[in-house]
Structure 1
């Protein structure tokens, strides 16, 4: 059996090279994404930075802990608590206490991410003066790096200061150090402090203070800026590579199975001759499986090698694009190789076995007849599978939870079911689509249109196999990009409908507006001002799940004057210090009900539900009064016009009021566009990664399948030449037929994308966030155009060398 398989591999080199290429590339992609995913599961060890030289660091409570019947549930607090003053007094008895204060600093011609600290804490990061001296007065500062020299005057949002010294940049922050007294006035609240005492004594002194953390050793890293950035980066990377891996696995399995099935289907004449010569169905199947095993082992091994060299390039691209932190590297994990090799071999065997089963069941004379015309292109098992998957896709579109349909994992994975269903049913759909597309060309003078129609309709398996990569390409492009575009449109429409203000004023950074700026804004003649702050509210649902909801703190009357909230029940003006506005996703969402919540600083409150918002696309959060968001900085000011007020005069007054703080004054439409851009850079690059890997593979597979299909038609091309067709006419016929097949795949992909986006449209309507269905026509057109160029070029390039021989010589070519 092995010798027969080897002989067949030599005799049908083009067919098996095509199968080898498809499988090797598929395994390579699986290896690349597997290695990237494995490397995103752990981060390198990071040592303490800001407090590396401190002995003991005390951090105020920054985690909410709630006891439940199944254990303690935790969430990060939106506003960490300061270390209690009584605890600080107790610590001072143990040793010197140095309070840390961190606040944003904005300065002209300076880095955008400046942070202020008191000078005494500089010693704990081992900062040493490199030029100048330490600050002594409130108007003197020391800066990190070389962007400012001693003697330079800086105009900041906290007043003008003079740089009197510099320290070496440590790489983790751009700091401005003030005197201790000045820093205390700028940031009265401190959540970190350093104690010059034994750790055991500090823990003993704080044992009765809930939530306070005593950090020593590597634990001091938790006091660094954004200590969870590595974990958050890993979570984002894991989700990105998981999504890319899932799409890659689907596309790889889909294309490889299709290619192997087509390779076996090409050999119907050969199988018929073997059956006529006495071969049993079992012998045919064992031969095909032996061939698939040989190709599968070699191609899977080659794919693992290719993936090993391709994975570092993917890692560099994600780092350069800002999708991954600078430390991300591909590490030496073994399991991705084993998983990719096994998957490739399994898919090769399954793809060949499924196609060979029908060949083994076909009678000898019937096999010879089917070798010329696909008169029964659809096997019963394939029809049942296609129908079953179509029903599954319909159920997912119509009966699934509308909220789930808007999640990225759902709208990325769900199209795969429908794509597979349409691909399985493609042989039934191909013939009517071909006849529809070629009806007009077939009536034109000349035989090209008629021949294209008859050739494509007669070779249904070949047409379906070539159309499959096009189907995947167009369907994925339309579904993924269309889903993001429709969600963006729905969210922008929601925001626009909620905003009735004429202007929205935003601060330059997360520090928000100070009291002086807010008073100046409120003093602008003709302006109705609603200043709101970002916070969070936590609720225990089902008694076991601690859920965080984003919240905004607002004055109810001002909010009602500048916003039109999507209320399901209740009134905005019913909000007060003892109540809350929730949305329909909350477990308790009936007006008048009382619900226990934890505020952004962890304070427990029982509040009455004053109003309920519709679910929408997920941006309808929670509203509380400023009293229930203590300390939250104002990060947005909505401004409506009073009766008779001039919009231009109000806008000029607002710009003057926020000029010193660096705030921006936007019209409502400008703010909606800025708050909800079409697609942010990270999302765009993530989609490019997911789609790019899949579409690159399907493009190569399209060329590969087209080469296999065209090389198998040497006798057919010879018959045309013997009938009097010129070499140019045959090449035009081959190219036109390739374009017709691409058009079939494009229509099938368009059908999948339209159905998927129709399901999203339905979900948005159910969530009270309707938006018109938007198909990404430019992207889909570009994908289809690229497929057309690749398919036509591959078909013509494959046919050209064969046509250089004479017609009689072509007719004598043996398969």
Structure 2
């Protein structure tokens, strides 16, 4: 059997090229993703940056820890607490105490991402003066890097400043673009100081801090927890793992899909060959073993090739992830072996799974198949394929119905709308041979009635060769379906969030700050003094609650006065009244475990304070961003980060907008109309999600090209006698090629139609979930992307069909010329 399998591979190599290429690329991608995930797990210990030269850093409480029966549960606080004043007094007795302040600096036309600090903290990075001197006046600054020269004036949202010096870091890489003010000016710009540096013995500092709740004394490598955004690396790694994990899963799914499709068509194409072997005395078991040995041989070679390609591609992927800010700057591929084992054996298993059904079908080939002359498919589907396709289709329908009935919000989660379409895609692909005949007859109904025989031939060739049509249409189906499902899901959710925001916003004008520090009390007083305008400031915070006594859940919170909020915002409610909200109550949504009006619940506020609040009203879950509503007193320290303004009767909108802009000008706020604010803040999918989907679609399109090229070339090569018969019947070479191209385009249209149908069904499920969640949202089908993908598939299919057909016609013409000579 092995010698027969090797001989078949040598003589029919073109039949196995497509599967070999698809499988090797799939293994390469799995290798790359595995190496990336393994390298992400080996996170190096991050060294301190902002306080690399500080002896001791004392930081106020920034985490909430709640004991539960199964252990402590911890969440980072939305609003860290400052070090208590009494503790600061004790620390000053030990040595010099320097308060740290970090705040964003916004310029009119300069670089983004500038961070302000007091000058006294520069030595703790450490920064050293390269040119100039330290700042002495409120309008003087020192900047890091070399983008700004000494003497330059910078126009910021808090006033124009003059650069009097530049600094460079000596302890680590340039991790920020710093702007240093005098200590007094920095305290004016950022009164909040969550941490301080103490120049004293660490043991004495710990003794002075004692048991103060939540206060941390950081020394050595632990000082990195005082760096800005210390969780950034872990967030980026989590997002990167999700991205690469999804891409790796799709790679495995598509590679098995392509290999199985190619194997099934290859076996159907070789039925006469198997019939001859049966006539010569081969048993069904020998036929199955031959096909399996062919697949294992190709799978082993393809897996080894894929591992080699993956080792070359992984460093390039890591560099791309760092460049696109999808991974930390230190991320590189490490020295790991288990991803190679995983990829190799996964590839071999994929080859075996892809050929299992085909081998059983090959073993059932009757000896009489050797005598068949007709190329028409008499039986387009096996019983097992029909049962499996029907089972998967029913599973997709039942799980969708259960999700809609029990937890519609689950359908809006990224993991769900990424994986769920694959079930429906597989079911449709398995049942495709049953669907291609009616679809091809529908698509070719008009061309078949036009003068000439071309339309009729296209209809009959694609309809009678149902297996060939289904095999070529399958990769088009998966690509179009993935493009429509993934991009359509994100577009639908984005549209739902935008519609939700539009329905809730009734303000005439919306005012937003220049940075995350929000509006200060002085700005709020100036805004309230504007005649003819009623304002409703709101602040972003968070609350924490225990569910089932073991899970500490964080919910976004909006703090606002209920009266002005009701006047400028339309809050949807399922129970209760917004006007009942006070300092002793809370408005929750139906996603909360406890959501009955009048019920009291224990929560922890954004600064970690525990409170028992009464539920005043309940909002619908919506798209998951409704969060909770609180009064400002229950969001201590949270600055107003949005102000909705309503104009009283008779107030001129232009005059009011000008007065509001004048009031926020010192802090750099922006005044927009309600519609302009909605357009500017239109929700969009996260950058990592878009990058992941584009990577997945790139993989799918690559596999589509490989599978279509291989399957179409196999199908065209097998039709040499048919094409020769058309020439003998009087068709010219160009007419034959036009016929082949028309058939290829028809098959692509069938696959695109099935893929669009699959995507539409998935999006209808999501649309139903949004309707159950009381979110008005249109169904967003990415028609432009679908047209682009279908066009690319059409070009690939046409080229893949025309090239072997032209070569076959040329060989036939050469033989005819030889006969005439």
TM, length-normalised to structure 1: 0.96
CA contact (8 A) 1:26 1:256 kept: no
For the pair 1:237 / 2:208, whether they are aligned, the reply is no
Query: What do residues 271-327 of structure 1 show as CA deviations (whole Å, max 9, x unaligned)?
Result: 011111111101111111111111111111112222222233333333333333333
State the distance in 2 between where 1:100 and 1:182 align: 13
Checking the alignment, whether the CA contact within 8 Å between 2:61 and 2:213 is kept in structure 1 is yes
Q: Does 1:279 align with 2:282?
A: yes
Retained in 2: the 8 A contact 1:29–1:248?
Answer: yes
Q: Distance in 2 between matches of 1:446 and 1:586?
A: 67
Do the aligned partners of 1:79 and 1:601 also contact (CA within 8 Å) in 2? yes
- Answer whether contact 1:41 1:238 (CA < 8 A) is retained: no
Give how far 1:149 is off. 4.1
Q: CA deviation at 1:373?
A: 2.6
What secondary structure is seen at the aligned counterpart in 1 of 2:91? helix
Counting only pairs closer than 5 Å after superposition, residues 298-447 of structure 1 correspond to structure 2 as 298-366=301-369, 368-369=371-372, 372-400=375-403, 401-447=407-453
Which whole-Å CA distance do the structure 1 matches of 2:332 and 2:700 have between them?
22
Q: What does residue 570 of structure 2 align with?
A: 564
The whole-number CA distance in structure 2 between the counterparts of 1:693 and 1:289 is: 27
Contact 2:272 2:369 in 1 (8 A): no
Please give the residue correspondences for 1:45-84 in structure 2 after superposition, counting only pairs within 5 Å.
45-84=45-84
Contiguous gaps of at least 5 residues in structure 2: none
Is the 1:488–1:677 contact (alpha carbons within 8 Å) kept by the matching residues of 2? yes
2:129, 2:165 within 8 Å by CA — same for their partners in 1?
yes
Relative to structure 1, is the Cα distance of residues 90 and 296 closer, same or farther in structure 2, using a 3 angstrom cutoff? same
Q: What CA distance in whole angstroms lies between the structure 1 residues aligned with 2:22 and 2:532? A: 68
User: Does the aligned pair in 2 maintain the 1:52–1:220 contact within 8 Å?
Assistant: yes
Q: Which residue of structure 2 lines up, in the alignment, with residue 291 of structure 1?
A: 294
Conserved in 2, the CA contact under 8 Å of 1:718 and 1:808?
Answer: no
**Any idea what the Cα deviations from partners look like across 1:30-82, whole Å, max 9, x if unmatched?**
22333333333343432111211122211111000111111111100011111
- Indicate if the aligned counterparts of 1:715 and 1:811 stay in contact, CA closer than 8 A: no
**Conserved? CA contact 1:722–1:808, under 8 Å:** no
Q: Secondary structure at the match of 2:616?
A: strand
Q: What do residues 512-542 of structure 1 show as CA deviations (whole Å, max 9, x unaligned)?
A: 1122222222222211101111111111111
Q: State the alpha-carbon separation in 2 of the partners of residues 343 and 370 from structure 1.
A: 39
Aligned partner of residue 707 in structure 2, secondary structure: helix
Structure 1 distance, partners of 2:525, 2:453, is 81
Deviation larger for 4-13 or 381-390? 4-13
Deviation at 1:730, TM superposition (A): 1.5
Is it true that 1:544 corresponds to 2:550 in the alignment?
Answer: yes
- Tell me the residue number matched to 2:94: 94
- Distance in 1, matches of 2:5 and 2:794, equals 35
Is contact 1:22–1:259 with CA below 8 Å preserved after alignment?
A: no
1:348/1:570 CA distance change after superposition, 3 Å: same
Question: CA contact under 8 A between 2:158 and 2:666: conserved in structure 1?
Answer: no
Compute the RMSD of aligned alpha carbons.
2.1
2:592 aligns with: 586
C-alpha distance after superposition, 1:586-634 (max 9, x if no partner) = 1111111111111110011111111111110012111111111111111
Instruction: Tell me by how many angstroms 1:676 deviates.
Output: 1.9
Compare 622-631 and 45-54 and name the one that shifted more.
Answer: 45-54
In structure 2, C-alpha distance between the alignment counterparts of 1:673 and 1:767, rounded to whole Å: 23
Matches for 1:555-704 after TM superposition, within 5 Å: 555-679=561-685, 681-704=687-710
Judged with a 3 Å threshold, the aligned counterparts in structure 2 of structure 1 residues 158 and 774 are, in CA distance, closer, same or farther, namely closer
Verify: 1:734 aligned to 2:737, yes or no: no
Which of 794, 801, 812 does residue 806 from structure 1 map onto? 812
4+ runs deviating over 6 angstroms: 810-813
What SS class does the counterpart of residue 333 from structure 1 fall into?
coil
> Does residue 1:187 correspond to 2:190, yes or no?
yes
Q: What is the CA–CA distance in structure 2 between the aligned matches of 1:276 and 1:667, rounded to whole Å?
A: 82
Report if aligned partners of 2:544, 2:603 keep a CA contact under 8 Å in 1.
Answer: yes
| 1:252 corresponds to 2:258 | no
The corresponding residue for 1:465 is 471
User: Quick one: distance in 1 between partners of 2:630 and 2:87?
Assistant: 31
- Alpha-carbon spacing, 1:587–1:458, altered in 2? closer, same or farther (3 Å): same
How does the TM-score come out when normalised to structure 2?
0.95
CA separation of 1:48/1:105 partners in 2, compared to 1, >3 Å: closer, same or farther?
same
Q: Pick which of 223-232 and 798-807 moved more.
A: 798-807
- Tell me, yes or no, if the aligned pair for 2:271 and 2:369 is still in contact at 8 Å: no
Gaps of 5+ in 1: none
Deviates more, 1:592-601 or 1:660-669: 660-669
Matches of 1:581 and 1:389 in 2, distance apart? 42
Q: 1:557 Cα shift? A: 0.6
State the match for 2:115 in structure 1. 115
Q: Does 1:201 align with 2:196?
A: no
